[in-house]
Amino acid sequence: MGGNDDSRIRYDTKTMPSSFISILIAVKSGTGALVPLLAFLGLYALAMKLAGLKSVENAHEESIWAATWVPATDARPALLLTGSLDETVKLWRPDELVLEGTNTGHCLGVVSVAAHPSGVIAASASLDSFVRVFDVDTNATISTLEAPPSEVWQMQFDPKGTILAVAGGGSASVKLWDTATWQLVATLSVPRPEGSKPSSEKSGSSKFVLSVAWSSDGRRLACGSMDGTISIFDVARAKFLHHLEGHSMPVRSLVYSPVDTRVLFTASDDAHVHMYDAEGKSLLGAMSGHASWVLSVDVSPDGSALATGSSDRTVRLWDLSMRAAVQTMSNHTDQVWGVAFRPPGGTGVRAGRLVSVSDDKSISLYDYSGR
Amino acid sequence: MAYVYIPVQNSEEEVRVALDQLPRDASDILDILKAEQAPLDLWLIIAREYFKQGKTEQFRQILEEGSSPEIDEYYADVRYERIAILNALGAYYSYLGKIETKQREKEDHFILATQYYNKASRIDMHEPSTWVGKGQLLLAKGDIEQASAAFKIVLDGDRDNVPALLGQACVQFNRGRFSDSLDLYKRALQVYPNCPAAVRLGIGLCRYKLSQFEKARQAFQRVLQLDPENVEALVALGIMDLHTNETDGIQKGMENMQKAFEIYPYCAVALNYLANHFFFTGQHFLVEQLTETALAVTNHGPMKAHSYYNLARSYHSKGDYEKAGLYYMASVKEINKPHEFVLPYYGLGQVQLKLGDFKSSLSNFEKVLEIYPENCESLKAVGHIYVQLGQTEKALEILRKATRIDPRDAQAFLELGELLISSDAGAALDAFRTARGLLKKGGEEVPVDLLNNIGVLHFERGEFELAEQTFKEALGAGIWLAIMDGKIHNSHEDMQFFQQLDGDGTSVELSWDKVTTVFNLARLLEQLHDTEKASLLYRLILYKYPDYVDAYLRLAAIAKARNNIQLSIELIGDALKVDDKCPNALSMLGNLELKSDDWLKAKNTFRLASNATDGKDSYATLSLGNWNYFAAVRSEKRGSKLEATHLEKAKELYTKVLVQCPANLYAANGAGVVLAEKGHFDVSKDIFTQVQEAATGSIFVQMPDVWINLAHVYFAQGHFALAVKMYQNCLRKFYYNTDTQVLLYLARTHYEAEQWQDCKRTLLRAIHLAPSNYTLRFDAGVAMQKFSASTLQKTKRTADEVRSTVAELKNAVRIFSQLSAASSQNFHGFDERKIETHVGYCKHLLDAAKVHCEAAEREEQQNRQRLEVARQVSLAEDARRKAEEQRKFQLERRKQEDELKQVMQQEEHFERIKEQWRSSMPAPKRKDRSQAEDEDGGHSEKKRRRSGKKRKNDKGSKSRYDMDESEAEMMDDHEEMENEDATNMNDQEVETNEMNDHNGVGADNPQDFLVAAGLEDSDAEDEAVPSSTMNRRKWAWSDSDDDQPVERQPVASPNRENSTELPDSDGEIRESNKLNKDADVDDEDDD
């Protein structure tokens, strides 16, 4: 199954029903029906695939732990933002991955980076629990956020760009920061699941929140924790809705489908990627194939493919209609901490791009061709 | 109508006796004969007539009367007739003896016969017919040589004596000299062309034996022309027909046999052949009847052997091995030499093999091999027996021979492959593949189990794609294909899924012979990390065969790997419902209980597992050993006595496993750990190294523990670089760099090697991997603090260094403060006071650092100034020197060129100035010492002073180092301190004096903190009795989490993770064994 890069035309009628289902789901939810429909009507015949474009060895002096795309602005194309154990955050210009700038100012490793949908500002966070919000083009510090004793893990701006959600680690909560005032506006606490002992020794870390994801309509927020539970919040009411069960190991990354606001993809240390109906609380499917922890997951802009990065040093591309890995990239030599599809938009940039960053200090850029 | 006329004595009259109306009572005739004193030839005629009519009693009566002493007396001159009577009696008794089956009576008959012949000889030594009779008797007795001598006597007298010729021919035939025999028969025929058909029979047999089959056939046919009812000829022809091996021939042969049987139902040969025929047509009832008759009618050893063989074979094929064995045995008993008839040995061997009597079986097969050394079936059987007897080498040799002799025998390759599985997987695979190729070539269906075994071997060699192909080939079409192709998904972890499929009309079939392969395929998918499909396959197995415990265990293992302990325990529960004594399930349950910290339960479960197998299950014993080891090193208050007891117990258990199974890597590893725990590092290092080597062969054995343990040993022995390498390799090789515990070991090693930055980086990585482990943060804080402290102690440091130290200290303070804040929320189990101490200490260091920083900056400033001054001075000096040189040079040149260049003087002057200006630019920086010294007089004095201070400080700094150690010890273990504290305390005594001295220095001296931190851990100090075992201290590292409640799992266990691996591989081996057995059964039946 490895290294499957055949570009044969696949028109397999037997797999059609499942894509039909995804159309139905899409139609039902009323959004994004177009893409799978198009896919179904013809483009379906093309196999999706990744092709390596460029790799930068020693892009950082140490392990690279975070990567995200800064959306294009009128003045420039989308940029790549990476954060590393070497305490720096770097900006790169595709496709040649030219280094645009190096931001210092963090102590201890940089664990996550996030970009505002406008592409103007971005945030980076390090192990010392500071979040630095800065202007992408000038590197001017806009604000420094901290909410002790809560530490900082994954962050994400909401689709409209009004709130920055920050996974608050041991505080068992997600902190929401207003992007206009940079004030803490809400703390979404993860409740303990009913029936668990109130204060056993271990429970302190059990709801340790590692990861956050916004739904594409910005109404829902999901967060993943060390013990594998996923919590769904209604953002408008700042209310916890329910847990999603299925993982029992840390969920370090999750992402909502861009075409269906109900569908959530989660990556866990249990080497699985799960696909949930986040509203209906049900597990739609589980995908296995990675040999070790799945550290990062991202969904392609058309919603038809997933990319995952794993401790097993590989990047995998998953065809959601087949629920199977269609390609495995093995160019990294150490854990792959981040994968990110470039968001669509920007002048003259139509081609799909995926980037991956790794403990091996390198960045890899791939061409992604969907169906 | 034939009549005999008995002359009436003293008259011309005769009594007419109708030969077919002889009176029933021979006495009537005898009375007449005696009364009329009839000539003796009449007696003979009448007796013979009786004999012809089957009235042997009367025959005997007349002849006995005719040879009585009275007759001898009365007919004293009638020699020939008397002899004839005696000979007739002799022949009669010879015949009786020949057909008699009971040995005793046989003897008696022969004795009587001998007596009659001897009596005849006494009458006339030279009567040839007597000799012929004697010869026949001797032949019947099997005394061929003497028989030959007897016939020779006759033939010497009359070389055309037909009976003697026939007798001698018979002798030669029995001697195996067939052409001589043939000559004799021919002569007999020439002498007496009208001789009975039997003579031609003899010719036919000789020709047959001489392989002149056409002539033999002619002879037999001639016999039948003469005597259409000649059974022997019929049988002989039948045999010849049967041996043509053509359908026609066989049919004709059988017809002949049948005819023979109808004519004479007691011909053993015909019976045997018929029985043989019916054996093949499967009419076992007939076989038994025929052979029993054959046995009853013949006395001829080889013939009986055949009959017994037929019987045995019949029972054998019916599966009645006991009876078959008995008859084979009877058959073998009838055979003098195996050369004559080897088949029963083969059959007996097979039956004995089946009944488990390997030794006897072996000897029988070996007899077969003596005669047919290249008989593949026997070779295979012998090979198989050697396997059963555990003589693998011999078995291999035999089977290799078998495959060499017949490279087309798929079965032999199959056996060879099965044998090689354990010793040489590669060769086994080759053998299996050859077998598969042969079967395919022969158009036979390749058995599922063969393909399964090939698949497993590929699997074990890591050739996963080949393995998958093979398994798929073995399975053929079925629901598994849909699962493999991802066309069936299941998001629910229950069996209803398949019921649903069943209900939907999808066929959910799984035949029993394919279960193993499905299981193996699932195992393969697991290995390829395609756990979802693997789970589905396991569930498919369970849906069809709910008793398949291994599938439950694998599902449990998958759940366990995903940390779903609850589900895992439930699945084990299901498995235990099937078999509540299943040692694998119990062991795994114990392991899970250990994982969820349920120590007592775990111990009980392991005990149960151990009991379930009478202590023969190494895994359970091993687990108990591990349990004891953990118990020894886990208790926070180390009762040394308890610890020793547990260690001893652990050692005992490991040793027990090693005795049972000397190749048990895990037990060896455990033993190594116990040894290391006791400080025998060299021995334990050897053990670990060997285990490591052994473990690198198989894909199923993953033993990171031994790497870790080796690294621990290196660490304990102070080989930090080696330890680092080993930890890093281990992380990379086994954990995809994800194991924080090993990272912690690595950090600790860096710490010990004073590689602070590496230590810090490693800890940061660990934090990134295990964000909720606050201990790591604490440790990172300590590392930074230590780094700062050590930088500040350095005599020479740049302002940059100091600045980075300050930054580091700030980080440390932040980390500690965060921990402190977090501890109020009860995130982790640190003592807040301890953290406060660290914060205080760091802040203090920070203050100190500020001073240092200022000092360093000042110094740097001064240095810079000094350098600047020096540079300028040197520049000036340089310029001066250059100018000087230039001048000198110019002077010389001028001297030389004075006369020549005077005119150009003016111009040169100008040049000189230009040159000077230019050369001053790149003046090499050379310090002029004296100058600098002068310039820096005050400085050097300061330096000297400071170095003095430094020397004093040395002690202080040492104690400070120790103090740091004590800090570090918090990160590790109380134990850690034992050694250091010993020196620490001594130092502290010295120090108290120094402290006064240095009070003035104030900021430079963190003693108060030192005391605070030092006293912090009063336990440690109490224990700080001159440290007995430095080794142990370091070793104890292996569960360094004693005071870290967050991470109490005994991770450095010598045996972790093997829990899943061990039962698997067991399971698998068992699988293939099962198959082996199946194959054996098949084996028995072909003949």
> Residue A94 domain-assigned?
yes
Residues of B in contact with A290 (CB under 8 A): 529
Q: Find the residue in B nearest to A268 (Cα).
A: B562
**Cβ-contact A358, A313 below 8 angstroms:** yes
> Residue A313 domain-assigned?
yes
Best of B597, B729, B768, B1057 to disrupt the A interface (most A CBs within 10 Å) is B768
Distance CA B293, CA B968 (A): 99
Judge: B529–A291 Cβ closer than 8 Å, yes or no: yes
Residues of B in contact with A248 (CB under 8 A): 562-565
> Residue B693 domain-assigned?
yes
**Cβ count within 10 A of residue B451:** 21
> Residue A168 domain-assigned?
yes
Q: How many domains does chain A have?
A: 1
What residues of chain B, 536 to 575, have a C-beta less than 8 Å from chain A? Answer: 561-565
> Residue B735 domain-assigned?
yes
Name which of B454, B383, B469, B385 is nearest B421 in CA terms.
Answer: B454
Residues of B in contact with A270 (CB under 8 A): 561-563
Judge: B489–A282 Cβ closer than 8 Å, yes or no: no
Residues of B in contact with A308 (CB under 8 A): none
Distance CA B146, CA B152 (A): 10
Residues of B in contact with A282 (CB under 8 A): 491
Judge: B533–A108 Cβ closer than 8 Å, yes or no: no
Please tell me whether residues B1040 and B1054 are part of one structural domain.
no
Please tell me whether residues B652 and B624 are part of one structural domain.
yes
Judge: B491–A286 Cβ closer than 8 Å, yes or no: yes
Please tell me whether residues B633 and B744 are part of one structural domain.
yes
- Residue B412 corresponds to which tokens in the numbers above? 């032999």
What residues of chain B, 768 to 787, have a C-beta less than 8 Å from chain A? Answer: 768, 771-774, 780
Residue B366: give its domain's CATH number. Answer: 1.25.40.10
Distance CA B889, CA B885 (A): 6
Please tell me whether residues B317 and B277 are part of one structural domain.
yes
Judge: A205–B827 Cβ closer than 8 Å, yes or no: yes
Per-run averaged pLDDT (10 residues), chain B, 1087 residues: 74 77 78 78 80 80 79 76 82 80 80 84 80 82 81 81 82 83 83 77 82 81 79 77 73 76 73 75 76 74 78 81 83 76 83 83 83 81 82 82 82 82 83 87 84 88 89 86 76 65 74 88 90 89 89 91 88 89 86 84 85 78 84 67 82 85 84 86 87 77 84 90 91 87 91 89 92 86 86 76 82 83 63 77 77 74 79 82 80 72 63 61 39 38 36 35 37 36 34 33 35 34 33 35 34 36 35 35 35
Tell me the three state secondary structure of residue B547.
coil
Judge: B826–A204 Cβ closer than 8 Å, yes or no: yes
Please tell me whether residues B623 and B735 are part of one structural domain.
yes
Best of A248, A287, A295, A337 to disrupt the B interface (most B CBs within 10 Å) is A248
> Residue A8 domain-assigned?
no
Dihedrals φ, ψ of B213, to 5°? -65, -40
> Residue A13 domain-assigned?
no
Judge: A171–B768 Cβ closer than 8 Å, yes or no: no
Judge: A270–B811 Cβ closer than 8 Å, yes or no: no
- Residue A85 corresponds to which tokens in the numbers above? 């154990």
Judge: B814–A128 Cβ closer than 8 Å, yes or no: yes
Best of A1, A106, A108, A210 to disrupt the B interface (most B CBs within 10 Å) is A108
Q: A-B interface: how many C-beta pairs under 8 angstroms?
A: 129
Please tell me whether residues B662 and B801 are part of one structural domain.
no
Distance CA B1038, CA B1049 (A): 11
> Residue B561 domain-assigned?
no
Please tell me whether residues B992 and B978 are part of one structural domain.
yes
> Residue B940 domain-assigned?
no
Q: How many domains does chain B have?
A: 3
Closest CA of chain A from B915, distance in Å: 46
Judge: A169–B772 Cβ closer than 8 Å, yes or no: yes
> Residue A81 domain-assigned?
yes
Structural domain for B806, as ranges:
787-861+954-1045
Structural domain for A324, as ranges:
18-369
What single-letter DSSP state applies at residue A308? E
Please tell me whether residues B845 and B961 are part of one structural domain.
yes
Per-run averaged pLDDT (10 residues), chain A, 371 residues: 38 39 39 43 62 93 95 90 94 90 90 94 92 93 88 93 92 92 92 56 64 94 93 93 92 94 94 93 90 94 93 94 89 95 74 92 91 64
> Residue B425 domain-assigned?
no
Judge: A226–B773 Cβ closer than 8 Å, yes or no: no
Name which of A154, A74, A51, A73 is nearest A117 in CA terms.
Answer: A73
Please tell me whether residues B821 and B843 are part of one structural domain.
yes
> Residue A354 domain-assigned?
yes
Distance CA B711, CA B750 (A): 13
Q: Is B693 exposed, middle or buried (0-12, 13-18, 19+ CB in 10 A)?
A: exposed
Closest CA of chain A from B381, distance in Å: 43
> Residue A156 domain-assigned?
yes
Dihedrals φ, ψ of A189, to 5°? -90, 140
> Residue B314 domain-assigned?
yes
Cα end-to-end span (Å), chain A: 20
Please tell me whether residues B748 and B854 are part of one structural domain.
no
Please tell me whether residues B648 and B730 are part of one structural domain.
yes
> Residue B342 domain-assigned?
yes
> Residue B730 domain-assigned?
yes
Distance CA B745, CA B709 (A): 11
Judge: B772–A226 Cβ closer than 8 Å, yes or no: yes
A356 forms beta bridges with: A339, A364
HSE on the CB side for A308, CA within 13 Å? 34
Please give the ipTM for the structure prediction: 0.86
Please tell me whether residues B959 and B1005 are part of one structural domain.
yes
Of B325, B358, B373, the domain-final residue:
B373
Question: What is the model's pLDDT at position A300?
Answer: 93
Name which of B892, B891, B887, B894 is nearest B915 in CA terms.
Answer: B887
**Cβ-contact B711, B702 below 8 angstroms:** no
Distance CA B237, CA B221 (A): 8
In three-state form (DSSP H/G/I as H, E/B as E, the rest C), the secondary structure along B854-922 is HHHHHHHHHHHHHHHHHHHHHHHHHHHHHHHHHHHHHHHHHHHHHHHHHHHHHHHHHHHHHHHHHHCCC
Q: What angle do CA B460, B461, B466 make, to 5 degrees?
A: 95
A91 forms beta bridges with: A81, A101
Residue A301: give its domain's CATH number. Answer: 2.130.10.10
CA distances to A121, A157, A252, A278, B982 from A216, rounded to whole Å, are 20, 11, 19, 13, 64
Best of A14, A65, A127 to disrupt the B interface (most B CBs within 10 Å) is A127
Residues of B in contact with A247 (CB under 8 A): 562
Distance CA B19, CA B1043 (A): 126
The order of strands in the sheet holding A336-341 is A49-56, A363-369, A352-358, A336-341
